[in-house]
Amino acid sequence: MRSFAGRDILSLKEFERNEFEHLFEIADRVEPIARERRNVDMLAHKTLVTAFYQPSTRTRLAHEAAMHRLGGHVTGFSDAKMTRAGDFYQESIKDTMHMLEFYGDVIVMRHFDQGAPHEAAKWASIPIINGGDGWGEHPTQILTDLYTITKEMGSVDGKSILAVGDHRMRTMHSLGYSLSQFDAEMVILAPEEMSPLPEFLAELDEKGTNYRIVDHIDEAIETTDVIYMEPVVQPDYTKARQEKQEVYARTDAKYQVTTEVMKKAKGSSIILHSLPRRDELLPEVDDSRHARYWQEAYNGVVMRMALLSSVLGVWE
Ligand code: CP
């Protein structure tokens, strides 16, 4: 297995099964710290730098919370407009990274341009973690989600995962790449204009991901083990920011999870949603035995604890 110490976490495309398993094992080891709401001194001499060029609640704060749980320090920005990268100067990623690398020991970056964290990794001498890049990938979210499936269902193997929503979305890409490493089925459901790109499906074919495409949630709901959701009403992820809309489009029933739809689901099936949500997942489902998105959000902190401690070399 490749070492995690000092490593950039940019994509799950080349992640191997034993690397997923290693992170799940580390997550299990650090989880009691989060569960008992303790802060330890594991990363007492390390600093995380957050570089967020796009809004975030979970990804940035879960990394920050993870760093605090492990006794580390945090600095950075959550609004690039208030930095030289977002004002008159439009400071380049190269110049920005040459600064940030002096301010900490690991950088988590979210950017509206696909590939921006890869560009950052060329210039920073410290590890870069991709916190979401345009429509590209969202590796730490999918590591969280596969860990959640493992904890809730014993294994990713043998599961049929219905991925419903916008398949241009970065999470869907990281999910598709990851499932090539497991004996699992990915069932793709998206509005036509949000279908996976042919180039992405070609990559899945090449990697050996077992997938099929359906047109309506009713075609898969009875056999699926995991309903993995993304909104179909969502912003353009290639933009730095989109403001609140006066009128939002409504999600078609074909892509919506409601208590009525869940009556047809397997009793053991679980619903994951990386959040935030709109009307594709109604709050009426929150109290059902299927909802696991709050557990998923908690696991988001645990997985970031595992990742940060790994790239900072604790377990070598
Ligand atoms: N799941 C996720 O990426 O959420 P945020 O946009 O709030 O970080």
DSSP per-residue letters across the chain:
----TT--B--STT--HHHHHHHHHHHHHHHHHHHTT---STTTT-EEEEEESS--SHHHHHHHHHHHHTT-EEEEES-GGGSTTSSTT---HHHHHHHHTTT-SEEEEEESSTTHHHHHHHH-SS-EEEEEETTS--HHHHHHHHHHHHHHHS-STT-EEEEES-TTSHHHHHHHHHHTTTT-EEEEE--GGGPPPHHHHHHHHHHT-EEEEESSGGGTTTT-SEEEE--SS---TTSS--PPPSSPPPPPGGG-B-HHHHTTS-TT-EEEE-S---TTB-GGGTTSTTB-HHHHHHHHHHHHHHHHHHHTTTT-
**Predicted local confidence at residue 143, as pLDDT:** 98
Ligand 1 atom nearest residue 59's Cα: 8
The rounded Å distance from CA 299 to ligand 1 centre is 13
Closest CA to ligand 1's atom 1: 274
Q: At 280, give phi and psi (nearest 5°).
A: -75, -25
**Predicted local confidence at residue 231, as pLDDT:** 95
Interval 238-291: pLDDT, tens: 999 999 999 999 999 999 999 999 999 999 999 999 999 999 999 999 999 999
Q: What confidence category does residue 159 fall into, taking pLDDT thresholds of 50, 70 and 90?
A: very high
**Predicted local confidence at residue 177, as pLDDT:** 98
Closest CA to ligand 1's atom 6: 56
**Predicted local confidence at residue 303, as pLDDT:** 99
Average pLDDT over residues 204-223: 98
- DSSP assignment of 85-100 equals TSSTT---HHHHHHHH
Q: Give the residues across from 210 on adjacent strands.
A: 185
Ligand 1 atom nearest residue 57's Cα: 7
**Predicted local confidence at residue 144, as pLDDT:** 98
Tell me the best of 53, 56, 296 to mutate to test the pocket of ligand 1, counting ligand atoms within 8 Å of each CB and taking the most: 56
**Predicted local confidence at residue 82, as pLDDT:** 96
* Residue 45 near residue 314 (C-beta atoms within 8 A): no
Closest CA to ligand 1's atom 4: 58
271's tokens: 């619903």
9's tokens: 């976490």
Ligand 1 atom nearest residue 54's Cα: 6
The rounded Å distance from CA 56 to ligand 1 centre is 5
**Predicted local confidence at residue 95, as pLDDT:** 98
Average pLDDT over residues 50-54: 98
Degrees, nearest 5: CA angle 11-12-16:
135
- Of residues 305 and 234, the one with the higher pLDDT is 305
Tell me the best of 50, 52, 53, 59 to mutate to test the pocket of ligand 1, counting ligand atoms within 8 Å of each CB and taking the most: 59
Average pLDDT over residues 40-44: 98
The rounded Å distance from CA 275 to ligand 1 centre is 6
**Predicted local confidence at residue 212, as pLDDT:** 98
- Which residues lie with the beta carbon below 6 Å from any ligand 1 atom? 56-59, 132, 141, 274-275
Interval 185-200: pLDDT, tens: 999 999 999 999 999 9
Kindly list the distances between the CA atom of residue 134 and the CA atoms of 2, 91, 114, 116, 153, in Å, as whole numbers in the listed order. Answer: 27, 19, 5, 9, 31
Q: What confidence category does residue 6 fall into, taking pLDDT thresholds of 50, 70 and 90?
A: very high
Mean pLDDT of the chain, nearest integer: 97
The rounded Å distance from CA 191 to ligand 1 centre is 22
**Predicted local confidence at residue 271, as pLDDT:** 98
Tell me the one-letter amino acid at 93.
I
Q: Which residues of 56-95 are buried (b: 16+ CB within 10 A; e: fewer)?
A: bebbbebbbbbbbbbbbebebbbebeebebeeeeeeebee
**Predicted local confidence at residue 243, as pLDDT:** 92
Residue percentage of the chain with pLDDT more than 70? 100
The rounded Å distance from CA 57 to ligand 1 centre is 6
The rounded Å distance from CA 105 to ligand 1 centre is 23
* Residue 244 near residue 288 (C-beta atoms within 8 A): no
